[in-house]
Structure 1
Amino acid sequence: MIGSTVPRRMLGRELRRLRETSGVSVSKACAVIQCSPQTMWRLEGGQGGVKLKTLYVEALCKLYEASDEDTAALLGLIEEAQRPGWWHSYGDCVPEHFDLYLGLEQSARRFTAWQTTFVPGLIQTPAYRRALEWTAFPGMPTSAVEQRVELIMKRQERLEDPTFSAAVLLSESVLGHEIGGPAVMADQIHQLIKVGQRRNVSIGVVPQTVGAHLGLQTYHFVLLEFPPRSSPESKTKWIEPPVVYVEGFTGALYLDQADKVDRYRSALVEIKRRALDEQCTRDLLAHKAKEYAV
């Protein structure tokens, strides 16, 4: 089960494609299902906050003169989009902007991250995550913190899927931030070494001695890439476009415009060129772990 994010986005893109192909205006489409242009924009954009109704989609497909096959495929996407993802059971510990990310992460086939400040959630230890949560929310009840730690551990089950791959590029500065104290950092670095030995995971560290490089300007980000998907109701196949996720202090950016994604891809090429290879990265990690263990 991948949750609502990807099928909702696919449904929105297909409805927009059908509308534009048929030459129907936004105002006319809005009139048919009696909604505002803002609601139509959110529907076609795959945004949350719009209740997906079978009658609406059937009416729009009829207006757009969609084929029976296309209509059946879109109705199938509604059913899939209405199934909750596993993370919805964690309630308030999932911020609204991060709900979208979790749906994308769970359906991605490749995860590529560049991080300059801390270890990405997919490879954090419980103690490391706990220290981050206490720093961000010092007054949070212990039970709520532990629920967030549990969420991170649940996300890491994604690494068990052999069809999923993760590439993590870290600035050496990540290893210098003593989050949770020396013992927590030593365990976290040993975790990096262990996870990096998986066949579907690669970890590379960019030494601080390389000087100026493009990764210092991009800030940290994640590139998510998706497998093609087909509809069981028809022969229709969809390609979910790659998404760049940039998390900020109070929200996040989701970029899927081709030109912007390409710029981040190019940045990853440059960052990886500056990173140590996997063996040299393991050697550096082992050295850092010994420093923290002293």
Structure 2
Amino acid sequence: MRGYRVRAQKSQLAAGLRVELSPQSIGRMEDGQKVKICTSQIRDLLDLYCVPDPSDERDEIFLLWQEVKDQALAAKIAGTTKGWWQAYTDQYEPHFDHYLGLEAVATHMTTHQVVLLPGLLQTPGYRRAISLAGNPSVSAAAVERRLELAAHRQVRLADPNFRVDILLSEGVLRHTPGGRSVMADQLNRILELMESRPNVSIRAVPLDAGSHVGLLAQAFTLLEFPPLASHLAEPPIVYVEGYEGGLYLERTDMIDRHRRAIVDIRRVALTEDGTKQLVNQIAKEYGA
């Protein structure tokens, strides 16, 4: 960008004032060093530097900018950059670090759960009960940090560009970690999300649904990512978590097999309205 700035006879100070960056930041950017900047700031700089709009020069700059963003996203998906969740590495198993990075950049998540609710839905009471079940001697401070981690993850549900499809065995709704009152609160939270988050779909699979592939596939999560430049296309990933660790499945045949499983599970799942009725019914049983 230095050439454009010099040609327009603008100083680094003038450029910095235009986009609210320091002259030093402008200099680092011109030297190809890492600077936090957004698309609107680049557009403002090009206007300041009198680069015509439209023009081949401007198009080329934005094409390069898109490649930079794509590379940053690909690096995050690959787990080569640090994310907010790494401040909590003492509160989750090592294999889960990669999953949190994937979840943070996915645009579509489909999960099938047969025993526990996914973390994105869990209330503090439910999360606390699960933490204590896994380690009864865990400290109160550690539990609070796990609750912070869960709350931070759930912020993504407010992103309308993040689509979440959740398929739950009825058994998930009937297990009572922490007791009936905790589960009653949890079921009310599910109902609240179903009403307030149009990007979140929750459907239950009744216990009498008969035979379906979900009985064999058990719990898994399919994560899909935004389209990048053609040479940086990121394939979907299936995550399967077990008591001893997690598996990340990327082979096309494995992805296709899980997509077919999702289709079959949806075939036997209740509609969203039917799911709301079931959740309401169980919540009343628990005294909600």
| TM-score normalised by structure 2 residue count | 0.72
Does residue 206 of the first structure (1) align with residue 200 of the second (2)? no
Task: Find the aligned partners of 1:250 and 1:279 in 2 and give their Cα distance.
Answer: 36
Does residue 228 of the first structure (1) align with residue 223 of the second (2)? no
Task: Find the aligned partners of 2:256 and 2:284 in 1 and give their Cα distance.
Answer: 39
The change in CA–CA distance for 1:229 and 1:178 in structure 2 (over 3 A counts) is same
2:89, 2:97 within 8 Å by CA — same for their partners in 1? no
The change in CA–CA distance for 1:76 and 1:239 in structure 2 (over 3 A counts) is closer
Aligned partner of 1:274 among 249, 268, 273:
268
Task: Find the aligned partners of 2:69 and 2:150 in 1 and give their Cα distance.
Answer: 32
Structure 1, unaligned runs of 5 or more: 1-68, 231-235
Instruction: Give percent identity, aligned residues only.
Output: 46
Task: Find the aligned partners of 1:265 and 1:82 in 2 and give their Cα distance.
Answer: 28
The change in CA–CA distance for 1:280 and 1:73 in structure 2 (over 3 A counts) is closer
Q: Which protein is bigger by CA-based radius of gyration?
A: 2
Structure 2, unaligned runs of 5 or more: 1-63
2:163, 2:199 within 8 Å by CA — same for their partners in 1? yes
Matches within 5 A, 1:9-88: 77=72, 83-88=81-86
For 2:208, the aligned partner's letter is T
Alpha-carbon deviation of 1:212? 2.2
Does residue 192 of the first structure (1) align with residue 190 of the second (2)? yes
Q: Give secondary structure in 2 for the equivalent of 1:244.
A: strand
Which deviations, in whole Å up to 9, do the C-alpha atoms of 1:267-290 show, x marking residues without a partner? Answer: 000001100001011011001000
Residue 246 of structure 1 is matched in structure 2 by 240
Task: Find the aligned partners of 1:180 and 1:102 in 2 and give their Cα distance.
Answer: 25
Aligned partner of 2:251 among 253, 257, 267:
257
2:70, 2:232 within 8 Å by CA — same for their partners in 1? no
Matches within 5 A, 1:39-188: 77=72, 83-188=81-186
The change in CA–CA distance for 1:256 and 1:145 in structure 2 (over 3 A counts) is same
Alpha-carbon deviation of 1:209? 1.0
Alpha-carbon deviation of 1:261? 0.5
Alpha-carbon deviation of 1:84? 1.5
For 2:186, the aligned partner's letter is Q
2:214, 2:261 within 8 Å by CA — same for their partners in 1? yes
Task: Find the aligned partners of 1:91 and 1:246 in 2 and give their Cα distance.
Answer: 20
Task: Find the aligned partners of 2:158 and 2:183 in 1 and give their Cα distance.
Answer: 24
1:228, 1:237 within 8 Å by CA — same for their partners in 2? no
| TM-score normalised by structure 1 residue count | 0.70
Alpha-carbon deviation of 1:76? 5.6
Alpha-carbon deviation of 1:94? 2.7
Residue 7 of structure 1 is matched in structure 2 by none
Q: How many residues align?
A: 219
Task: Find the aligned partners of 1:74 and 1:178 in 2 and give their Cα distance.
Answer: 44
Alpha-carbon deviation of 1:83? 3.9
- Misfit runs of 4+, over 3 Å: 72-83
For 2:147, the aligned partner's letter is V
Alpha-carbon deviation of 1:238? 2.1
For 1:240, the aligned partner's letter is E
Alpha-carbon deviation of 1:265? 0.3
Q: Give secondary structure in 1 for the equivalent of 2:136.
A: coil
1:243, 1:256 within 8 Å by CA — same for their partners in 2? yes
Task: Find the aligned partners of 2:278 and 2:168 in 1 and give their Cα distance.
Answer: 12
Moved more, 157-166 or 80-89: 80-89
Task: Find the aligned partners of 1:75 and 1:124 in 2 and give their Cα distance.
Answer: 32
Residue 289 of structure 1 is matched in structure 2 by 283
For 1:125, the aligned partner's letter is T
Task: Find the aligned partners of 1:100 and 1:132 in 2 and give their Cα distance.
Answer: 21
Q: Give secondary structure in 2 for the equivalent of 1:210.
A: coil
Structure 1 vs Structure 2 CA RMSD: 2.1
